[in-house]
Amino acid sequence: MAEIIKLFDVAVSKILTALCSVLLLLMVIFTVYSIVMRYVFENPPVWGDLLTVLSNIWLVFFALTLTVRNKDHIALDLIYSLLPLNVAFAIQQFWTLVIGGLGVIMIIYGMEAVETMGGKYWEMWYFTWENGTIVFKENYMPKKYAIAIVPISGFLICIAALISVLEDIFRLKAGTYERAQEADL
């Protein structure tokens, strides 16, 4: 069972890292394209800046999941290094669970935001699924597509926090647990 969780964890981390890379590349492409169109051809696209912002939003939320899983979030590592191992372990797990709780809040209120965001639009094209086919819609994209990252990220944060806590518990029992700061060195 632990091997299946580990394979799942590695696969999700690789997928999220790849998504972050693609989103960063898209941000650069959209920005360069918008600048060239604005200053060289004097015909900037409406969607250029919006897609850059959308890519940035999704990138930040996916990266947040990776930081929770890798324990790279803001922590008081100096204090952890001064505390006995069991106390440092308990405090680190407490904060990881608090972040997992934040993920639950993101799921609950993110879903509410997605559901109530229906009538508000960005001036941008988008694709939708109608009558069994993908249909191109011009000029308006529902804002709920941008907001959808909040519950998705909340779910991923909950999974990352849970796996992180379980991993630390198994390492503590095996005698191989290291504080986050020691593991980085």
Residue 185's pLDDT is 43
Residue 23's pLDDT is 95
Structure pTM? 0.76
Count: domains in the chain:
1
Q: Give how far Cα 97 sits from Cα of 59, 77, 90, 163, Å.
A: 23, 17, 10, 11
The 3-state secondary structure of 85-106 reads: HHHHHHHHHHHHHHHHHHHHHH
Q: Are the C-beta atoms of residues 154 and 105 closer than 8 Å to each other?
A: yes
Residue 178's pLDDT is 73
State the residue range of the domain holding 92: 2-184
Residue 51's pLDDT is 84
Residue 56's pLDDT is 92
Residue 127's pLDDT is 67
| Per-residue model confidence as pLDDT tens for the chain (185 residues) | 678 888 888 898 999 999 999 999 999 999 999 999 989 998 888 778 888 888 999 999 999 899 888 877 666 666 777 888 888 888 888 988 999 999 999 999 999 988 887 666 666 666 677 888 877 666 667 778 788 899 999 999 999 999 888 888 888 888 887 766 554 44
Question: How many Å apart are CA 54 and CA 122, to the nearest integer?
Answer: 11
Query: Which residues, in sequence order, are CB contacts of 93 under 8 Å at separation 6+?
Result: 165, 168, 169
Residue 147's pLDDT is 85
Residue 157's pLDDT is 93
